[in-house]
Copies of this chain bind each other. A is one copy, B any other.
Amino acid sequence: TKSYNITLLPGDGIGPEVISVAKNALQLVASLEGFNIGFEEMHVGGAALDAVGVPLPDETLSSAKKSDAILLGAIGGYKWDNNERHLRPEMALLHLRGALKVFANLRPATVLPQLVDASTLKKEVAEGVDLMVVRELTGGIYFGEPRGISTNENGQEIGFNTEVYAAYEIERIARIAFETARKRRGKLCSVDKANVLEASMLWRKTVTALASEYPDVELSHMYVDNAAMQLVRNPKQFDTIVTNNIFGDILSDEASMITGSIGMLPSASLGETGPGLFEPIHGSAPDIAGQDKANPLATVLSAAMLLKYGLGEEKAAQRIEAAVLDALNRGFRTGDIHSAGHKLVGCKEMGEEVLKSI
């Protein structure tokens, strides 16, 4: 029988609670589908800062690198908010992404019929939204050099960062996006600011050049300011969106809020080879941590993405996705997605209902 190693990074806040639910779901589908999973649980983020004084300990990184896939809970909390930059929990995430070279961040934003009322958008605007943001994750202004805070010739303090993309970085993320669009509804919208930024001009040129290899995919381009508007005006116009690191950070969060159910949304970060990093898109929610109130479904669905994209275990992934829908159909809701006529449950109970459905 096949056997996989998964590094679990529960992290901070509600991280441990949601990871525990997802771990149970992974274990159950593994036994049903006839493969083994070995788990290694490691510190990351604030938890690692408290335990060993750095946000990403060497042991954590080497466990992650050796694994077949990584499942992360959440990172950060008020406690570490005033730390210096290199001692902030979020740095673990940036270092992990860089070290694992997971340049492709897939962030679906889907409005489930069961949860359409959770959106702040009118029902007719929200229903049926099903889009995927493909965000470049290891380049651009997040990693560009030079960067820093220094003093200029006039004695003025200046803060600076570099937005920079090489053609090969754009090409490889564009390929993932074209492939993704091909498996979806065949529409790809590349978002940039090519009317102002040279980095965006090269982005647009490179994406456009690739289009001839994907004649079945309909490519369009949109400026980032317009994309931020169109997501509010008519999110259904989008199928797959591809964009750079910082625009992807902003637009994928906007898109996820449009669904109204951030507690439901998973993500996958993939490289050319090596393990992928899978995590819910929500944060560590320190205000409800430890109270059994968190919605574990985003992490459970991240585990499904892990099975599909990370291990190639499509059937096991589908089992988990179906179980999540089944638990919703049977009326179970955590607080964040609860509405009249449904059964309010905590994190653990939601986890048990998912296990039953599996």
A258 / chain B contacts, CB cutoff of 8 Å: 232
The contact string, 1 if C-beta is below 8 Å from chain B, for chain A 195-206, is 111111111000
Q: Which of B156, B201, B253 is in CB contact (< 8 Å) with A229? A: B253
Given A157-B202, A160-B144, CB of A253 within 8 Å of CB of B233? no
Cβ–Cβ contact B158 & A167, under 8 A: yes
Instruction: Indicate if A224 sits at the interface (CB-CB under 8 A).
Output: yes
Considering the complex, give the chain B residue whose CB is closest to the CB of A252.
B225
Residue A250 lies at the interface, judged by CB distance under 8 Å to chain B? yes
Please pick, from B90, B234, B250, the residue contacting A250 in the complex, using a CB distance under 8 A: B250
Contact A232 B250 (CB under 8 A): no
Contact B88 A195 (CB under 8 A): yes
Q: Which of chain A's residues 224-266 have a Cβ closer than 8 Å to chain B?
A: 224-226, 228-234, 246-247, 249-254, 256-258, 262
Q: What's the dominant secondary structure at chain A's contact region? A: helix
Which of A157, A161, A258 has the largest number of chain B CB atoms within 10 A? Answer: A161
Query: What residues of B have a CB within 8 angstroms of the CB of A193 in the complex?
Result: 246, 249
Is A162's CB under 8 angstroms from B165's CB? no
Q: Which of A21-29, A46-54, A120-128 contacts B (4 or more CB under 8 A)?
A: A120-128
CB <8 Å contact, B159 and A202: yes
A141 touches B251 (CB 8 A): no
Q: Is there contact, CB below 8 Å, between A168 and B156?
A: yes
A32 to B201, CA, bound (A): 50
The 6 sampled A-B contact pairs (Cβ below 8 Å) are A90-B195, A149-B202, A159-B164, A159-B202, A229-B254, A229-B262
